[in-house]
Amino acid sequence: MPATVNQILDGLVTRLQTISGLRCYDRPADIQASPSAYVLLESIDYQGSFALGNAQHQMTVTVVVGRTSDRAAYQALSDYAATTGAKSIRAAIEGDRTLGGVAQTLIVQRADNIRALTQGDADYLAVDFAVLVHA
């Protein structure tokens, strides 16, 4: 039986929780807590599947860091965007490509859309990670 979207979201949040100090959510938080990450479903391609056995789920993981100092914020984003390391989003997610057995495989494709955010009186920086999950 194919994985549900909620199983994939939960699996990605579980992988992100392996990064110490990162608050992780399966949807955007009403109030940002820095640093944080949330996961969104962008699209599902059913055409790559045979009897729904390999639907491709395009997911976005957004990481948000506080911007009290530009230098510190960009360093934090750099740590999360690193290929490897204790704070690497890619390494954390790809540490279990099956998300606990709910997916066939996955790949973190890219980090992009680095941008400034303002919420209330607080400033943040954010970056998106594109994750393709075959489930």
Total count of domains within the chain: 1
Q: Collapsing DSSP states into helix, strand and coil, what is residue 97? A: coil
Ramachandran sector of residue 97 (left: φ over 0; alpha: ψ -120 to 50; beta: rest): alpha
CATH of the domain at 26: 3.30.2000.10
* Residue 36 CB coordination number (10 Å): 22
**Domain with 122 in it:** 5-134
Q: Return the amino acid letter for 44.
A: I
Q: Collapsing DSSP states into helix, strand and coil, what is residue 9? A: helix
Assess contact for 38 and 24: CB atoms under 8 A: yes
Which tens digits make up the pLDDT trace of 86-97? 999 999 999 999
* pTM > 0.85: yes
Q: In this predicted structure, what is the pLDDT of residue 50?
A: 62
Which tens digits make up the pLDDT trace of 93-124? 999 999 999 999 999 999 999 999 888 888 99
